Amino acid sequence: MSPITINAQRLWDDLMTLARFTEPNTPGWTRRFPSTAYQQGRQWLQAQMEAEGLTTHIDAAGNLFGRREGRENLPPIHVGSHTDTVMGGGRFDGALGVLGAFEAVRTLREDNLSLRHPLVVADYISEEATDYAVACMGSLAMCTDHFRAEWLERTVGGVTLRQAIIDMGGQPDKLGQPLVRPGEIAASLELHIEQGPVLEARGVKLAAVSGIVGIHRALLELQGKANHAGATPMDLRHDALAAAARMISAIEEIARAHPGTVGTVGKLEVQPNQGNVIAGAVTMMAEMRSLNMQEVDGMWAEFMTIAQKVCAERGITVQIFNETRMDSVIPPQWLHELVGHVCQRLDPHAIITPSGAGHDTSYVGLIAPAAMIFVPSLDGRSHAPEEYTAPEDLARGVQALAETIVEVDKSS
Ligand SMILES: [Zn+2]
């Protein structure tokens, strides 16, 4: 019997309370950075943390932390996720990781379990991508030097990113260098809904995440020549869309040939996009993901060779923009095993699975031992109002999180 018992009803009530902070006239549960609803939700969270006796702090990026001291002078264990959503999002993506961390902290106090390490509940700002910046802005700014000063001048709805960060309690002019260095966080844990169909399909309730897949992604701009679709013979065309079609097929074929990897073109813009005009230009967003970055790099090189060939054959130029290569993040063996044991204790059928989606752990894992726990998503749905995880499954996840915290405290 574990000496810890989390309060499932209180967790559910907190999730439903946070869900009420929703932007008016938006679908589902929408809390976008830096909306009033998002700010008010975080103010509510901060007040809850303070009522619990945690010391709150907002860092230069706007990340919100609530800290309880430990018995020893050690770096803290960070536990958290995010409270922003996509447009038309759900109630559990991110929110579970933050409010679950908070529930774990409360439970440990109630059960008189003091820790050696300080414990920090983290609400990383702007995890979902915005028109200002890439996804995971807060954890990126905290853990890397990838935050770009020019993002601060970007304006969305009349508000610069600089002002938006200030409005949320941050200090934008301090960004650009990591706010936390390796060694300053003992370990980081993130509980999250799976956002995929695997757990439900296998009838399991918990998964220890084996890693977050790395991504190679770029915007490719194909420049051909727009011309009359009737009057231009096939051999005199520079059809950018025909080249793009070959490239899209190539991505699918390459990814299918490498089990465990995925490849996608999810966005395409065609110019002039007229039924009787040969496409003069196409921009496409192409990406490939895997836990094995060597494999991703090889697949990307293969794709580039095909892209050059199909474009050369058609007299089309290719330019590449916004190329990003994000390494996969794999938890250290000791932490992965520890999480796996806790998950199996609470669900004998618990599995190990990679995360195909990016998370704040993608960045925190660069500076600290970091691991994730998944609970099932109904129908694998997320980023939609239908996103749902049964209350008992949420509670089991938080129970696993709380027990993991205690184990990590002993072993790091
Ligand atoms: Zn999330």
What's the CATH code of the domain at 206? 3.40.630.10
| 249 and 192 housed in the same domain | no
pLDDT of residue 326: 85
**CA atoms within 13 Å, Cβ hemisphere of 257:** 13
| 286 and 156 housed in the same domain | no
Q: What is the mean pLDDT of residues 282-294?
A: 96
Neighbours of 155 (CB within 10 A): 13
113 Cα to the center of ligand 1, angstroms: 29
pLDDT more than 90, % of the chain: 95
> Contact 218/286 with Cβ under 8 angstroms?
yes
DSSP structure class, residue 378: G
Whether the bond between 376 and the residue before it is cis, its omega within 30 degrees of 0, is: no
Helices (H), 268-385: 293-313, 333-346, 361-367
Sheet strands side by side (includes 64-68): 55-58, 64-68, 119-123, 77-81, 187-193, 370-375, 207-212, 351-355
Is residue 1 in a domain?
no
Tell me the residue range of the domain where 165 lies: 8-213+328-411
| 221 and 116 housed in the same domain | no
CB-based contacts of 56, cutoff 8 Å, min separation 6:
46, 49, 50, 64, 65, 66, 67
| 82 and 207 housed in the same domain | yes
281 Cα to the center of ligand 1, angstroms: 34
Residue 346, class by beta-carbon neighbours within 10 Å (0-12 exposed, 13-18 middle, 19+ buried)? middle
Two tokens, residue 202: 């296998």
94 Cα to the center of ligand 1, angstroms: 4
| 319 and 383 housed in the same domain | no
Is residue 375 in a domain?
yes
202 Cα to the center of ligand 1, angstroms: 22
pLDDT more than 70, % of the chain: 100
Sign, Cα dihedral of 246, 247, 248, 250: positive
213 Cα to the center of ligand 1, angstroms: 15
pLDDT tens per residue, range 200-218:
999 999 999 999 999 999 9
Scan for tokens 């309370």, then name that residue: 17
296 Cα to the center of ligand 1, angstroms: 23
Residue 134 confidence (pLDDT) above 90: no
Residue 72 confidence (pLDDT) above 70: yes
Domain limit, last residue, from 283, 304, 326: 326
Helices (H), 115-154: 137-143
CA dist 79 and 136 (Å) reads 16
128 Cα to the center of ligand 1, angstroms: 7
Q: Helix/strand/coil (H, E, C) string of 289-310?
A: EECCHHHHHHHHHHHHHHHHHH
| 397 and 291 housed in the same domain | no
184 Cα to the center of ligand 1, angstroms: 24
Q: How confident is the model at residue 1 (pLDDT cuts 50, 70, 90)?
A: low
127 Cα to the center of ligand 1, angstroms: 7
Q: What is the mean pLDDT of residues 58-77?
A: 98
Q: How confident is the model at residue 321 (pLDDT cuts 50, 70, 90)?
A: confident
Q: What is the mean pLDDT of residues 332-339?
A: 98
Residue 91 confidence (pLDDT) above 60: yes
- CATH code, domain with 225: 3.30.70.360
pLDDT of residue 82: 98
pLDDT tens per residue, range 28-64:
999 999 999 999 999 999 999 999 999 999 999 999 9
Q: What is the mean pLDDT of residues 299-325?
A: 95
314 Cα to the center of ligand 1, angstroms: 42
Is residue 65 in a domain?
yes
Residue 2 confidence (pLDDT) above 80: no
Is residue 170 in a domain?
yes
- DSSP states of 153-166: G-EETTEEHHHHHH
359 Cα to the center of ligand 1, angstroms: 6
Residue 71 confidence (pLDDT) above 90: yes
Q: What is the mean pLDDT of residues 294-314?
A: 97
83 Cα to the center of ligand 1, angstroms: 8
- DSSP states of 213-240: -EEEEEEEEEE-B-EETTTS-GGG-B-H
348 Cα to the center of ligand 1, angstroms: 26
Is residue 3 in a domain?
no
82 Cα to the center of ligand 1, angstroms: 6
14 Cα to the center of ligand 1, angstroms: 17
45 Cα to the center of ligand 1, angstroms: 17
Residue 94 confidence (pLDDT) above 60: yes
Question: What's this model's pTM, rounded to 2 decimal places?
Answer: 0.88
231 Cα to the center of ligand 1, angstroms: 51
In Å, how far are 193, 293, 312, 371 from 380, measured between CA atoms? 9, 25, 41, 21
| 135 and 19 housed in the same domain | yes
| 297 and 352 housed in the same domain | no
pLDDT of residue 36: 97
257 Cα to the center of ligand 1, angstroms: 29
355 Cα to the center of ligand 1, angstroms: 11
382 Cα to the center of ligand 1, angstroms: 9
Is residue 2 in a domain?
no
Q: What is the mean pLDDT of residues 265-274?
A: 96
* Structural domain count, the chain: 2
> Contact 178/367 with Cβ under 8 angstroms?
yes
Two tokens, residue 255: 């990814």
| Amino acid sitting at position 268 | L
The secondary structure of the chain in percent helix, strand, coil, rounded to multiples of 5, reads 40, 25, 40
In Å, how far are 149, 160, 332 from 154, measured between CA atoms? 10, 5, 37
Q: What is the mean pLDDT of residues 246-269?
A: 96
Domain limit, last residue, from 326, 342, 374: 326
196 Cα to the center of ligand 1, angstroms: 12
Average pLDDT, the chain: 96
| 141 and 41 housed in the same domain | yes
| 256 and 395 housed in the same domain | no
86 Cα to the center of ligand 1, angstroms: 9
| 230 and 317 housed in the same domain | yes
CA dist 197 and 91 (Å) reads 18
Neighbours of 256 (CB within 10 A): 11
Q: State the Rg of the chain over Cα.
A: 23
Scan for tokens 């960070």, then name that residue: 78
294 Cα to the center of ligand 1, angstroms: 26
277 Cα to the center of ligand 1, angstroms: 42
DSSP structure class, residue 120: E
280 Cα to the center of ligand 1, angstroms: 38
Is residue 358 in a domain?
yes
> Contact 216/327 with Cβ under 8 angstroms?
no
Q: How confident is the model at residue 133 (pLDDT cuts 50, 70, 90)?
A: confident
Domain limit, last residue, from 283, 311, 326: 326
| 179 and 315 housed in the same domain | no
Q: What is the mean pLDDT of residues 311-340?
A: 95
394 Cα to the center of ligand 1, angstroms: 15
